[in-house]
Amino acid sequence: MKFFLDTANIEDIKKYASWGVISGVTTNPTLIAKEDVSLEKRIKEIAEVVDGPISAEVIATDLEGMLEEGRKYAKWHKNIYVKVPATPEGLQAVKIFKKEGIHTNLTLVFSAGQALLAAKAGADLISPFIGRLDDVCEDGMALIAEIAQIFQNYNIKSELLVASIRHPRHVIEAAMIGADIATIPAEVIDKMIKHPLTDKGIEKFLEDWEKVANK
């Protein structure tokens, strides 16, 4: 399973890239807005740090607008994946981008039907938002299991990217199901590495070492 970082914060991207755990980055308009920086500047900065897929989302909701924005993003760097929403226009855009050799990430996916259509249209990455489903009393992880099963049944090449992750169990359960990628917020990665028994263990080893250090 690959881990992407779900942020547009360049310091966080540098930090977790230095841990050797990040294979890509996903951004969205909300994450870019938090950084108060232009999309182009930030995407280019990210590309200098991470050598892997970097998702940049279109703002347009009409086909022509999506195509114009996506073609512009694709010129910024070879690793750009154009993120388009799971709408009829998004599917059309995916099909056209595929012909043009532009990678895509179909975002805001909330059903297996949307995921299947995205795969048929030729999306490289398909992003179901599990946390947002959990937020409305649905079962986000059940959707991941459904899509994973369908993709396995038909040997579908699109990669299943688990998005809207809220806590470490989301990552572990997605890994157990066999999802291809998890895009993880920085605070969830921090929670994944932290364990009180590790801290306690280090403390005890240091304490015991002190007893013999000067012998």
Which residues sit at the interface with ligand E4P, rule CB under 6 A?
6, 26, 28, 107, 127, 129, 131-132, 163-164, 183
Of 91 and 184, nearer to ligand E4P (C-beta) is 184
* Residue 3 C-beta: closest distance to ligand E4P, Å: 13
* Residue 130 C-beta: closest distance to ligand E4P, Å: 8
In degrees, rounded to 5, the angle at the alpha carbon of residue 24 between the alpha carbons of residues 21 and 26 is: 125
Whether the CB-CB separation of 6 and 26 falls below 8 Å is answered with yes
Whole-Å CA distances, 117 to 9, 87, 95, 159, 191 = 32, 10, 11, 13, 35
* Residue 30 C-beta: closest distance to ligand E4P, Å: 6
* Residue 107 C-beta: closest distance to ligand E4P, Å: 6
- Is residue 34 part of the annotated active site? The answer reads no
Which entry of 83, 194, 211, 215 is annotated as an active-site residue? 83
> DSSP of 150-161, one letter per residue?
HHHHTT--SEEE
Cα dihedral 39, 42, 46, 48 sign: positive
| Exposed / middle / buried, residue 8 (Cβ in 10 Å: 0-12, 13-18, 19+) | buried
Whether the CB-CB separation of 190 and 211 falls below 8 Å is answered with no
Q: What span, in angstroms and rounded, lies between the C-alpha atoms of 13 and 68? A: 28
Of 184 and 201, nearer to ligand E4P (C-beta) is 184
Whether the CB-CB separation of 161 and 181 falls below 8 Å is answered with yes
Catalytic site positions: 83
